[in-house]
Structure 1
């Protein structure tokens, strides 16, 4: 069968290719560049816990060695520390000061240069026999019919490519999106930031800082917000929020920002630093009207742009790839299932639209004029909490996506019971016993194309699997899992947050909880699994007719 064609060799396209390869689906990545990424320390990405784990799982590279995981977070307003967070190894160990009502933070984000991230992805793909990168290949035509997709590229090796499906991961100016005539409405230049990467020493090593309304603002017009994020080897990325407009950011102005900011933070009149890279980061908010047209899909910046108020668009792009990969893999191996493929747009577009709405609602409060809110008690702390959510991955601006309203969510499951993870949300990464008797993290079993069935059975961890695998409810559960309409892996956990003994969890291949059942209930488990796959699979002729009509 033909490979999946992926247009664009950025982090999202490379991640999708690796995720498909892990599920035994071949792909070809069309890279319009030479196959190398220019080192730019002023161009970095911040990854949340789930997306960092996805990259590590696919590349085998411990990203803590390639990037910097923040030791803490500090937010300041003028000279006052508003909030201070010290991260622990476990989220429950984190210390939060300055806001007693604030929820416990997530694990610390990971900050890494984008060229380092893409380098790790490219290196992993080079070892992958099921994936090919075609460099200097610029897409200029796409044709699709019932049985597949044909793409034409121009360049030194310009040719026609044949694929089962095509995914446009080709960025904000996506050629795929334009060829499909998909509208991309939204807002231009929602925020602008001057950016500098420099090597220096700051008074809070390893901690990210958000400083609003710093008292030294003298270097020209400024909206009064500076962010400092640590990188390895004593390097920091500094971002200065610029006022609305198109004022030119000159080298002299940027150097003045650097000097006065470091002076204000360190108290030194001539702070030492090594300037490594500079740039201007412009944030746009846009959302494609459609993410699927027949056998062609959009993902990453080709489908959405966001990034105001500390949110990070690449996180959502990587979640696009994770969501789409297992659905494409199932269609590739077993034939097109339209309801399952349609759910990609339904789930991912809804999540990103919610992020954009939350940011657009908050922007007037945080970036507007003084107005009434300046006199509302606690307004400054509320604004600080909102910005912290955006930067650290909490609240409506940054919390991990859930698919509670997904068309794949099962309805009317009689034996469903509540656990601390709501249906549709990402599961907690607990230790489980695998089928070979080894102890692994639950997250390590994701991305293989199989459903996961997790039995919560206290006490099993102290016995070898062979002693309890044929006892109690296990034989019934094994039989129920074997009868499911899709391959599934049976795992056993000593405990799971909020789950009673003998609770059975059904987990999607991308790590989102389908349902939690009160004991072994084969009919409920089968119904939930079938719903997760988009319902009963149609006949081959019916599926092909549906694919051709889109």
Structure 2
């Protein structure tokens, strides 16, 4: 079987290659660059805790030292603190007028993009199933029912043969253009002037969103400033620019830096070292199709978003996580069209919902003053929306659920209610693995197997040998063995909202298929079969390549 061809060596393409390798699928990564990334401290990413954990699992490297997990978050308007979050604890009111917040959750990780890709490249260098071809720019793709042929030009130009091809080649995706896929949307939704600098600022481990700062002397472009810490005393500062294409001159940027630093330190501008600058332009676009036969799109090739603090890379990494196990199953067991089709159905719907939410909020937050500025409580509501975007929660930032997935099982008699809706990411709880060790549920994801989790209070205090053959365990183990796909049986002492003896079926990418009341072999089998796209048949397989 030919390898999967991955076009593009950004974080999404590299993560997809590693995710496939974990499931014993070889790949070739076509990198049009020289094989390394230019260090740019003004180009950073913020990863939600689940995305950061995914990157650590794939790279095998703890990323905390390479980036910064924020200790807290503040949202200010003029001189007033509107919202204050301390991560790892409940949100605290900043003052009597601040809006209370609850369940701050784990801290986001802020990391330079070249550091992240460097960690992924280092992991790939140790991976025998992945080949990275540098200086290889794609210029043609041909499909047949049995595979894909791609041609690259450049010093190492040649033909490549693959089983599938995934375009992770960014905004100007060659793969998308060669497949004649439309990419409609909005251009320049937001523009930001960016500076990376080293300076001593108050609250060195906290991120800050400051709206309408009182010292605004450089015009309306200083109306919103975001400060995010990086390691070694480095900060990334973003200034929201007014609509238009006004040139950001070095002199204007230095003036903004000096007045901002002076304003935050209540005095003269403190010493600082300017390390990098840039202009970040946010576009909102969504590809019409994410699959054409054996060719797929992922990451910025499929979608662009990022207004109001949202992070597009998070969604790109979820694309890779969603697609990897489906491609692996097709690679090992033959094409299953319903399963491969579900990638577009699930991921495009989630990103489209995120874009709709941002488009609905933009007029409210960026529409100037008018009557909205005089509505009581509107300022706090606006800051709450922006906080959600920056912290990766709510409609603007939280991971999407595949509620209407074509892989969702139908009409199961034994369905149980838990705190996680079907199609949503599961909560990361401690579980007992089949060898008796205690691990996190998240550690068992991404290996291509389904996970069956039994909620059994009290088992954590006993050795596995004492309860593995007792009660309902033998019957459940037999049901798991009979499933139509390899599955791992895990036991949790508790799961949010789950009653004792609840059985959870979890996809390889960590989304809940269903929860069942007790051991119900028929329901468990039906749910597993649905999660795999239903029974494959020869007619579906014949459709592969002619999609």
**Residue 64 of structure 2 aligns to a residue in which SS?**
helix
Q: After TM superposition, list the pairs within 5 Å mapping 1:308-387 onto structure 2.
A: 308-387=307-386
CA distance in structure 1 between the aligned counterparts of 2:236 and 2:7, rounded to whole angstroms: 30
Q: Displacement of 1:102 after TM fit?
A: 3.3
Write the deviation string for residues 93-131 of structure 1: whole angstroms up to 9, x where unpaired: 454545455342231100000000000000000000000
**Higher mean C-alpha displacement, 212-221 vs 289-298:** 212-221
Match in the other structure for 1:56: 56
TM-score by length of 1: 0.98
CA contact (8 A) 1:147 1:544 kept: no
**Which runs of structure 1 show a deviation greater than 6 angstroms over 4 or more consecutive aligned residues?**
none
Match in the other structure for 1:14: 14
Q: Displacement of 1:223 after TM fit?
A: 5.5
CA contact (8 A) 2:449 2:508 kept: yes
Q: Displacement of 1:164 after TM fit?
A: 0.3
**Residue 470 of structure 1 aligns to a residue in which SS?**
coil
Match in the other structure for 1:398: 397
CA contact (8 A) 1:434 1:492 kept: yes
Q: Displacement of 1:203 after TM fit?
A: 1.2
Write the deviation string for residues 13-59 of structure 1: whole angstroms up to 9, x where unpaired: 00000000000000000000000100000000000011101001111
Match in the other structure for 1:246: 245
Does 2:30 correspond to 1:33? no
CA contact (8 A) 2:259 2:269 kept: no
CA contact (8 A) 2:92 2:100 kept: no
Write the deviation string for residues 292-314 of structure 1: whole angstroms up to 9, x where unpaired: 00000000000000000000000
CA distance in structure 2 between the aligned counterparts of 1:64 and 1:383, rounded to whole angstroms: 31
CA distance in structure 2 between the aligned counterparts of 1:170 and 1:548, rounded to whole angstroms: 22
CA distance in structure 2 between the aligned counterparts of 1:250 and 1:100, rounded to whole angstroms: 38
CA distance in structure 2 between the aligned counterparts of 1:12 and 1:171, rounded to whole angstroms: 9
CA distance in structure 2 between the aligned counterparts of 1:49 and 1:402, rounded to whole angstroms: 17
CA contact (8 A) 2:222 2:256 kept: no
Match in the other structure for 2:283: 284
Does 2:82 correspond to 1:82? yes
- Number of residue pairs the alignment of both structures matches: 545
Write the deviation string for residues 230-249 of structure 1: whole angstroms up to 9, x where unpaired: 10111100000000000000
CA distance in structure 2 between the aligned counterparts of 1:166 and 1:281, rounded to whole angstroms: 30
Does 2:431 correspond to 1:432? yes
Match in the other structure for 2:419: 420
CA distance in structure 2 between the aligned counterparts of 1:544 and 1:7, rounded to whole angstroms: 25
**Residue 38 of structure 2 aligns to a residue in which SS?**
coil
Match in the other structure for 2:226: 227
**Residue 222 of structure 1 aligns to a residue in which SS?**
helix
**Residue 347 of structure 2 aligns to a residue in which SS?**
helix
Match in the other structure for 1:548: 545
Q: CA RMSD in A?
A: 1.0
Match in the other structure for 1:128: 127
CA distance in structure 1 between the aligned counterparts of 2:527 and 2:339, rounded to whole angstroms: 14
Match in the other structure for 2:464: 465
**Residue 437 of structure 1 aligns to a residue in which SS?**
coil
Does 2:214 correspond to 1:215? yes
Q: Displacement of 1:416 after TM fit?
A: 0.6
Does 2:159 correspond to 1:156? no
CA distance in structure 1 between the aligned counterparts of 2:102 and 2:308, rounded to whole angstroms: 19
Q: Displacement of 1:270 after TM fit?
A: 3.0
**Residue 42 of structure 2 aligns to a residue in which SS?**
coil
Closer, same or farther in 2 for the Cα pair 1:462/1:483, shift >3 Å?
Answer: same
CA distance in structure 1 between the aligned counterparts of 2:218 and 2:395, rounded to whole angstroms: 34
CA contact (8 A) 1:96 1:104 kept: no
**Residue 284 of structure 2 aligns to a residue in which SS?**
strand
CA distance in structure 1 between the aligned counterparts of 2:314 and 2:249, rounded to whole angstroms: 31
What residue ranges of structure 1 are gaps of 5+ in the alignment? none
Q: Displacement of 1:184 after TM fit?
A: 0.3
Q: Displacement of 1:87 after TM fit?
A: 1.0
CA distance in structure 2 between the aligned counterparts of 1:103 and 1:401, rounded to whole angstroms: 20
CA contact (8 A) 2:99 2:380 kept: no
**Residue 548 of structure 1 aligns to a residue in which SS?**
coil
Q: Displacement of 1:549 after TM fit?
A: 2.1
**Residue 530 of structure 2 aligns to a residue in which SS?**
helix
CA contact (8 A) 2:337 2:541 kept: no
Match in the other structure for 2:189: 190
Match in the other structure for 2:525: 526
Write the deviation string for residues 223-267 of structure 1: whole angstroms up to 9, x where unpaired: 600000010111100000000000000000000010000000001
Q: Displacement of 1:401 after TM fit?
A: 1.3
CA distance in structure 1 between the aligned counterparts of 2:222 and 2:271, rounded to whole angstroms: 26
CA contact (8 A) 1:18 1:58 kept: yes
**Residue 472 of structure 1 aligns to a residue in which SS?**
coil
**Residue 344 of structure 1 aligns to a residue in which SS?**
helix
Match in the other structure for 2:46: 46
CA distance in structure 2 between the aligned counterparts of 1:291 and 1:106, rounded to whole angstroms: 32
Q: After TM superposition, list the pairs within 5 Å mapping 1:288-303 onto structure 2.
A: 288-303=287-302
**Residue 476 of structure 2 aligns to a residue in which SS?**
helix
